[in-house]
Structure formats: C-alpha cells, structure tokens
Amino acid sequence: MRKIHISILILTLIIILPWSYAVSGEITDLSKKASEINIRMPKKTVIRLLGRPTWAVIPSDGGEFAIRAPAMVKLELFWKNIPCSPVIVSFNSAYRVVGQDEGWGFCGKDAHITEPTNEYLCGKADRAKFCR
C-alpha cells in the first residue's frame, strides 16, 4: 500500500506540478508594473510606467492582431515581456486605458509566438507616433 502512495506522489510531482506551472505562468518585472495600470489611465502615464512599447496595433490593421472591438478600442500597445507573452494595453480614442493583459498567462520557450510581427514595430514610420 505504501508503494502505491509513493508512486502516486511521484506521478503527481512529475506530471501535475510542471503542468500547473506552465498554465499559471510566472510574473516578470514588467508584468508586475503592468498590474499597477488602472482603467482610464492616460497613455503617457502607461508609457512612463512600462517604458517604450515594442509594437502598436491600430484599427486599420487586419489579420491575427486586428483590434476586435474598434468602436471602443482605437489603439493597442504591446511590450516584449521575456520569457512570457507580451503585456498588452488597449486605449480608447482619448488614449485612455480601457483594458490590459499583464502578460503572465503564457510563459516559456514558445511564448514568442504570441508576439506581433515586425510590421507592427514601434520603430516603423507609421507606428512611431502611437508609441510615444
């Protein structure tokens, strides 16, 4: 009987714990800072808190990163958040926060697949004004 309990404990440690860690993610310094963001916070305050964003998505963008609620969201800024998915902050037409994702939900070696592509980089001429 004791052998069965030890086997179950070992199985739990091998399978369940790594899975629960992968699902829960980890908290990066950037994710901790993002947790301080409040609804209606101005974009300039968000950028002061998190630093310069990496990518910007605007309503005219299509594809995988298209803004899903263009009547409410006029800009989404993304921050690279290694080793986790990006921090994302959504803004209305007055550039005030209407939503956010702190980026801690998916971490690990494949988290980069949740990042926008280079066409959305803040360094591009058509994005730079949105990233300031």
What would the pLDDT profile of 32-44 be if each residue is shown by its tens digit? Answer: 999 999 999 999 9
- pLDDT in the model for residue 25: 52
- CA dihedral for 122, 118, 125, 61, sign (positive or negative): negative
Using a cut of 0.85, tell me whether the model's pTM lies above it. no
The full set of domains in the chain, from first to last, is 26-131 (3.30.1450)
Q: Can you say how many angstroms the Cα of residue 13 is from the centroid of all Cα atoms in its chain?
A: 29
pLDDT digits (tens, 9 = 90+) for 65-102: 999 999 999 999 999 999 999 999 999 999 999 999 99
Q: Tell me if 111 sits within 8 A of 84, measured CB to CB.
A: yes
Q: If pLDDT is split at 50, 70 and 90, which confidence band does 54 have?
A: very high
Dist. CA 40–CA 38, nearest whole Å: 6
Q: Tell me the β-bridge partners of 75.
A: 91
